[in-house]
Structure 1
């Protein structure tokens, strides 16, 4: 179908995601675009491209925001905006209806803890049961020290470790959500990276994997559910007397502790495999602001120490 101004917006968006997103993004990401399409079709089945203006677009977002939190509404908006900008390039729209849009949404529900403090993490790690063979506790230790995504850690084999230089190469992920499992591509190109690890961790994993074949999965034996690992982590958190977090929150913990340690955002973004530094800044904005407040206090203390007599004018 050739795009035209009289085409329904949901039809244009449907074609747009097939042309620009199918095969270009991960299947899980593509499913999110399809979800956006379903909601767009439900909310504005009769909205045509020629009727897209600031008021109609804002009304669409307001309707969506009635049943979704602000961040979810923002994600919905970003999906639609990308398609709308292409519609402008194609000459189907003369103005950008998304300009100066107001993002609304329901009050956010109370979130679970996203990260532990250094003291809390140390308390958690002290309760790990690190056996002579790979188990979930070893995976928990690995993620806490590397910030790996759960799917990245599951895909590791002994061949991914360079024990002499203390590094891990991340080149793939494990499809733990699929019944058949299997290797998959990383989340993005930047996710393919080499991560330095500390010497004790390298020695431990060299010993731990000495009886495994070079390409044998370290942690996967049959079907894997992240709920199983999260249950183990929940038990460990309660035993250690620290807030209960998820396995993904160990990744946030790793990044947060690096920020507090003064590691640059650029280095953290590279270590985490983020596609841009902006992603890292947005994800950990609350911590960055906390450090900025601490820096402001240090600046004021430093300036106050510069004791000079200033003559009143």
Structure 2
């Protein structure tokens, strides 16, 4: 079961069904009925209204498409906007401290891919060396790693968990990006390290071609990178940053450079420019000028002894 299916099941069984006071036939469902239902759902938690309406919209659209109903009332129901995303961006001095510490960490390459390429966590973990064009200095995003859950029947208890490859999040997430020189250098260093591991008689290496992998070539867990970021921040007195936070900072850098919003949307692989605006409208102005601190002379160069 994908994480999306798990979330949809949770929305249905934990939010919508318990809020239904009257079980009526599909053809009798009205705007008033749905608004009353969603009002009860919305009281459960801040995101419940939005998630409930989103799932009901899909169900009712399918019902109309399959001719179970002649009229879909969902578009006329009260909207429940999703919670406004909180964007955390480090100021220039804290960013400098963060990058200095990150340069001594085994996750340095992954951090640079988030900060300077704006990749999602699953996209970083899903990268393979074949995706990089060293001559053109580009990377192709064509997959992501996601969690695959197996649940106990009729319960939400996870009995089995695995990391698997999936297509990118949206059609717009398929993209080719220019990669900064410092990042490509780190990719080459990682490639050399992995080649050494392949020849190590003490390691039974499984060659999946992953750039970000365990010592034996297996993919990393989906929580490992955020755990590494938390350690870096805690040890250096910095506010906690997630992989998604690195992506926010990438967008902020582009905004500071005056890059048009539609281009930022394309680089991030957002489904629409509206999504990009929703995240970053409040940081279009007034942020510290961090651009001068984020360049090839500022980014710490590793000595090659960090592992």
Aligned-pair distance for 1:190?
Answer: 1.8
> Would the aligned equivalents of 2:137 and 2:181 in 1 still touch at CA under 8 Å?
yes
Aligned-pair distance for 1:62?
Answer: 0.9
Correspondence for 1:116: 90
Deviations 1:180-226 (A, max 9, x none): 43432222222121111112221232233135469622221146334
Aligned: 1:128 with 2:102: yes
Between the aligned partners of 1:143 and 1:283, the Cα distance in structure 2 is 17
Moved more, 146-155 or 122-131: 122-131
Between the aligned partners of 1:176 and 1:55, the Cα distance in structure 2 is 38
1:186-265 mapped onto 2 (5 Å cutoff):
186-210=168-192, 212=194, 216-221=209-214, 222=218, 224-265=220-261
Between the aligned partners of 1:99 and 1:183, the Cα distance in structure 2 is 38
Correspondence for 2:6: 31
Correspondence for 2:40: 63
Ranked by relative contact order (alpha carbons within 8 Å, sequence separation 6 or more), the top structure is: 2
Q: Decide which structure has the larger Cα Rg and report it.
A: 1
SS in 2 for 1:174: strand
Between the aligned partners of 1:246 and 1:50, the Cα distance in structure 2 is 46
Aligned: 1:185 with 2:185: no
Correspondence for 1:6: none
Between the aligned partners of 1:95 and 1:198, the Cα distance in structure 2 is 49
Between the aligned partners of 1:48 and 1:64, the Cα distance in structure 2 is 20
SS in 1 for 2:44: coil
Correspondence for 1:73: 49
Using a 3 Å threshold, how does the CA distance of structure 1 residues 50 and 174 change in structure 2: closer, same or farther?
closer
Moved more, 138-147 or 81-90: 81-90
> Which is richer in strand?
2
Between the aligned partners of 1:245 and 1:119, the Cα distance in structure 2 is 15
Q: If the length of structure 2 is used for normalisation, what is the TM-score?
A: 0.72
Deviations 1:154-173 (A, max 9, x none): 12222221122211111112
Q: Which of these residues, 51, 66, 71, is aligned with residue 28 of structure 2?
A: 51
Aligned-pair distance for 1:125?
Answer: 0.5
> Which is richer in helix?
1
Aligned: 1:286 with 2:292: no
Residues paired across the two proteins, number: 258
SS in 2 for 1:262: coil
> Would the aligned equivalents of 2:142 and 2:174 in 1 still touch at CA under 8 Å?
yes
Aligned-pair distance for 1:76?
Answer: 1.8
> Would the aligned equivalents of 1:169 and 1:194 in 2 still touch at CA under 8 Å?
yes
RMSD of aligned Cα (Å): 3.1
Aligned: 1:270 with 2:266: yes
Q: If the length of structure 1 is used for normalisation, what is the TM-score?
A: 0.70
User: Which consecutive unaligned segments of at least 5 residues does structure 2 have?
Assistant: 150-160, 196-206, 287-307
> Would the aligned equivalents of 1:234 and 1:244 in 2 still touch at CA under 8 Å?
yes
SS in 1 for 2:283: helix
User: Which consecutive unaligned segments of at least 5 residues does structure 1 have?
Assistant: 1-25, 292-313
Between the aligned partners of 2:86 and 2:29, the Cα distance in structure 1 is 38
